[in-house]
Amino acid sequence: MGLNLDPGGGGPGLLQGWPLFDELQAVAQGRLCGPQERLKCRTASGAFADWACRVCEEFLRPEAVSPWTWHLIFLYQLKRAGYPFGANDLTLETWLLLGLVRRVMEGAPGGKDGEDWS
């Protein structure tokens, strides 16, 4: 029996409700609140727009994403672009989290990696 990190993998998952995982999912699914969403919300909510923005569960404001999550996404993008990271360039924790970023961003089911990162 393996460790279930993927909330969609048939169980509650170890990372369900973890802010990093939720933020990565919002970015991967394109659920960041941008100017168009804010304009639609302001039009629909009128005087209650500020309140509606604070309690919105559909979109995530970019400033609400933690700096650590943005840093991991940056490292993921560097890796995807071919930046030559060495084995000891990042901490073990960062490598493990980078694997999580990869699974979430690429929509890979937990444990089924189709690409070699070496």
The per-residue pLDDT for 78 is 97
Q: How many structural domains does the chain have? A: 1
Q: Is 11 within a domain?
A: no
Q: What is the pLDDT of residues 40-76, one digit of tens each?
A: 888 888 888 888 888 888 898 888 899 999 999 999 9
Q: Is 114 within a domain?
A: no
Fill in the amino acid letter for 29.
Q
At 105, the pLDDT band (50, 70, 90 cuts) reads: very high
Asked if residue 5 lies in contact with residue 105, where contact means CB atoms within 8 angstroms, the answer is no
In 3-state terms, what secondary structure has residue 59? coil
* pTM listed for this prediction: 0.73
Q: Is 94 within a domain?
A: yes
Would you give the distance in Å from CA 24 to the centre of its chain? 1
Q: Is 112 within a domain?
A: no
Backbone angles phi, psi at 76, to 5 degrees: -60, -45
Q: Is 45 within a domain?
A: yes
Read off the pLDDT of each residue in 2-17 and give the average, rounded to a whole number.
54
Cα(10)–Cα(97) distance, integer angstroms: 21
The per-residue pLDDT for 56 is 84
Q: Is 13 within a domain?
A: no
pLDDT at 107 over 90: no
If we measure between CA atoms, which residue out of 13, 19, 24, 33 comes closest to residue 75?
24
Give the domain range for residue 31.
Answer: 19-106
Q: What is the pLDDT of residues 11-36, one digit of tens each?
A: 446 667 788 998 999 999 999 988 88
The per-residue pLDDT for 55 is 85
**H helix and E strand count, the chain:** 5, 0
